Structure 1
Amino acid sequence: MSRSRVKVEGLRELDRALGDLKLSTARNVGRRTLKQALEPMAEAARQNVAKDRSGELRASIGVTSGRPKGRGYRRQDRIEAHMGPGQLPQAIQEEFGNRRQSPRPFMRPAWDAGKGLLLENVKTILSEEIAKAVQRAARKAARQAAKGGK
């Protein structure tokens, strides 16, 4: 199975704004951004599932910022989000086929159709999330100043 990587360039201002936030806040902003940006692609994958009598495969497709099970060590200096089906054997059979069943891909078409929009969503959502985080930090600082400043 091939892995696709996308490198986003031209986001220097947003990167600087993220750098001005506390590290934990910046990570949370990044996670929320990636999860929101991937959700339309997950919805497209759900719609692409060909035949799912029980609805289990369609329902298992989701977005998470946690590490998928069995994926080993997670680097602490990265923010990751994952989109796809849960650990269902039928997901692999459906996407890639087997000797009795031809492939009926649902993930790859969702990626191919949504990857351009994904990058635009990341830019838009990230700028909104940074603005919200800055506003929350300002409100918190104002509350602390009103209490006597800690």
Structure 2
Amino acid sequence: MSVTIDVEGFAELEKALDNLSKSAGKAVLRRALKKAAQPTADLARSMAPVKTGKLAKSVIVGTRLDGRQARIHRRMFRDDKAAVEMFVGPSYLRGDGGRHGHLVEFGTSKMAARPFMRPAWDQDKNAMLERLSDELWAELEKSIRRAEKRAAKLAAKG
């Protein structure tokens, strides 16, 4: 399933990011996305059904997918050259709980669905986009200040 979100006011942000190196710009985006998405992950953790507690502990914000997820993602976004991607959800990398997160979320023939990721997203998406905007500007300003400081230091050395 794909979700499309239209946001406004990011053109100025993109122009400001163009003033940074590619790696610095990606780092800004990565840090801002992680900070903005963390409350959504926390909300999903609190909504996860508790049997052993492993599922809730496995919900993370990260850049990595497991092998199967990565293959599906590559097929879905083959032509999309996104600069930075961040994922929120159960991770198999963080214990056994994440391996079965999709079964809990969507259910099986023997088990009713107990969604926790989608309700967390639905409840937090607008606030997350606001946080993302704020975090992007804050991270961008910090990165620009660091770059200016480095340039001044290099100029002083001569």
TM-score w.r.t. the length of structure 2 is 0.84
Mapped pair 1:147 → 2:150: no
CA distance in 2 between counterparts of 1:85 and 1:139 reads 39
Mapped pair 1:78 → 2:83: yes
Determine if contact 1:35/1:65 at 8 Å carries over to the other structure.
Answer: no
In structure 2, the CA distance between the partners of 1:144 and 1:10, relative to structure 1 (3 Å rule), is: same
1:80-99 alignment runs, 5 A limit: 80-87=85-92, 88-99=98-109
1:1-20 alignment runs, 5 A limit: 2-20=1-19
Determine if contact 1:38/1:118 at 8 Å carries over to the other structure.
Answer: yes
Deviation at 1:6?
2.1
Hey, what does 1:64 align to over in structure 2? 62
CA distance in 2 between counterparts of 1:112 and 1:38 reads 13
- CA shift digits 1:42-62 (9 cap, x unpaired): 000000012231x22111100
* 1:136 corresponds to which of 135, 138, 146: 146
Determine if contact 2:49/2:56 at 8 Å carries over to the other structure.
Answer: no
Deviation at 1:67?
4.7
SS class of match (2:49): coil
CA distance in 2 between counterparts of 1:20 and 1:61 reads 35
TM-score w.r.t. the length of structure 1 is 0.88
- CA shift digits 1:53-83 (9 cap, x unpaired): 1x22111100012355331347654211101
Determine if contact 1:52/1:58 at 8 Å carries over to the other structure.
Answer: no
SS class of match (2:88): strand
CA distance in 1 between counterparts of 2:106 and 2:99 reads 11
The count of aligned residue pairs is 146
Range moving further from structure 2, 40-49 or 12-21: 12-21
Q: Percent identity?
A: 36
CA distance in 1 between counterparts of 2:91 and 2:66 reads 9
